Amino acid sequence: MHTYLDFEKPIAELEGKIKELRHVSASGEEINIADEIGRLQNKVEKLLQNTYSKLTPWQKTLVARHPERPHTVNYIENLIDDFTPLAGDRLYGEDCAIIGGLGRFEGHSVVVMGHEKGHTTETRVKHNFGMARPEGYRKAQRLMDMAERFNLPIVTFVDTAGAFPGADAEERGQSEAIARSIEKCLQVKVPFTSIIIGEGGSGGAIAIACGNDVFMLEHSVYSVISPEGCASILWRSNDYTESAADALNITAQDLHRLGVIDDVIAEPLGGAHRSHEATFASVRSVLEKSIREQLQHDGGVLKAKRREKFLAMGRLSAA
């Protein structure tokens, strides 16, 4: 069963009618309903187009969190050949909230990593809903060191509400691990491409997202804090979540306009969850172009360009 969001109720009703008509057709009754199904399908497409062209920031947040949206494991399975997972930070232990390893993309050996939220109750618990502890970020640093040692491009998929805020994570140096991970992103002398595929939350996202090229899927979000967190701090009430989302400039379109990301990757009509294959194809095309162009530059140049790019954000020029 497809999961519908609250604002998709009219779409759900139409697709429900289509399903009923197809069931009647499959039952063998002599009723020609092909024309009716086609008419309803056209209405669904027009409604999807109208709805998704006017999404509010909060609605985009809900789409970014959709339970059927493809996750890092899905991108790795469909884009990366011969993937070999690597575990552990060599300091404390393994953190399944960030998965990573070696693989091949379009003939290039790469180091790939990303947050994994999980799709089922069991996998969500295993991956801690994509909220990494310090060992996850130290594993990321280890993989980036490996990429630089063997001169391999780095690809990261970002999808997290934020780093895990538990006491055990704080005791093991959560803030230091995130800061070191950001530092490592800015130091490596290899091509580095980051893609926000769902939710990019706070330092937990930035820790592996400081690439030469940073892209966002069309209906993904990227922010220093979640709308709910912002509302609870500023208004001390979740009643203002939508207002917080409007104020935060969290959408891919806002961030592209502000120069925080480099480009927006189009999603299929109705969101990435409606067509995984089309989404993978779009990401493959953008990622291939990004790596190919970066490979034309020396490692020192890539590092310098990456550092200058992030240092320039928010810089004011004299009037």
Tens-digit pLDDT profile for residues 63-107: 999 999 999 999 999 999 999 999 999 999 999 999 999 999 999
Looking at the chain, the number of H-run helices and the number of E-run strands are 14, 8
Instruction: Calculate the CA 309 to chain-centre distance.
Output: 21
- Identify any residues that bridge with 201 across adjacent strands, giving them in sequence order: 223
pLDDT confidence of residue 124: 95
- Section 296-301 average pLDDT: 96
Output the CA torsion 245→246→251→253 (10° steps).
180
Element (H, E) at 163: none
**pLDDT of 30 above 50:** no
Q: What is the pLDDT of residues 285-296, one digit of tens each?
A: 999 999 999 999
What's the predicted TM-score (pTM) here? 0.91
**pLDDT of 118 above 60:** yes
Least confident of 26-30, 90-94, 110-114, 269-273: 26-30
Q: Measured between alpha carbons, how far is 92 from 289 in angstroms, rounded to an integer?
A: 37
Q: Measured between alpha carbons, how far is 106 from 268 in angstroms, rounded to an integer?
A: 23
Handedness of CA 77, 79, 84, 87 (dihedral sign): negative
Mean of per-residue pLDDT scores for the chain: 93
**pLDDT of 229 above 70:** yes
pLDDT confidence of residue 32: 67
Structure token pair of residue 274: 């409606």
**pLDDT of 168 above 70:** yes
- Section 184-189 average pLDDT: 96
**pLDDT of 38 above 70:** yes
Structure token pair of residue 172: 């093991």
- For the segment(s) 61-311, the CATH number from 3.90.110.10, 3.90.226.10, 3.40.1350.10, 3.30.360.10 is 3.90.226.10
Q: Measured between alpha carbons, how far is 15 from 2 in angstroms, rounded to an integer?
A: 10
Q: Based on the number of CB atoms within 10 Å of its own CB, is 318 exposed (0-12), middle (13-18) or buried (19 or more)?
A: exposed
Instruction: Calculate the CA 148 to chain-centre distance.
Output: 24
Residue extents of the structural domains in the chain: 6-54, 61-311
Percent of the chain with pLDDT over 90: 85
pLDDT confidence of residue 313: 86
Distance set, CA 261 to CA 112, 165, 191, 200, 208 (Å)? 20, 26, 16, 12, 14
Percent of the chain with pLDDT over 70: 96
**pLDDT of 29 above 60:** no
**pLDDT of 318 above 80:** no
Structure token pair of residue 196: 């926000």
CA-based nearest residue to 197, from 178, 213, 219: 219
The residue that leads in pLDDT, 189 or 44, is 189
Q: What is the pLDDT of residues 149-165, one digit of tens each?
A: 999 999 999 999 999 99
**pLDDT of 41 above 50:** yes
Quote the crossing angle between the two packed helices 57-64 and 227-234, to the nearest 10°. Answer: 130
The residue that leads in pLDDT, 95 or 311, is 95
pLDDT confidence of residue 94: 96
Residues 6+ away with beta carbon under 8 Å from 236: none
CA-based nearest residue to 87, from 98, 73, 76, 72: 98
Instruction: Calculate the CA 47 to chain-centre distance.
Output: 25
Residue 283, number of CB atoms within 10 A of its CB = 22
Q: Measured between alpha carbons, how far is 154 from 113 in angstroms, rounded to an integer?
A: 8
What is the DSSP annotation of 38-90?
HHHHHHHHHHHHHHHTS--HHHHHHHHT-TTS--HHHHHHHH-EEEEE----S
- Section 246-257 average pLDDT: 95
- Identify any residues that bridge with 155 across adjacent strands, giving them in sequence order: 112, 193
**pLDDT of 18 above 90:** no
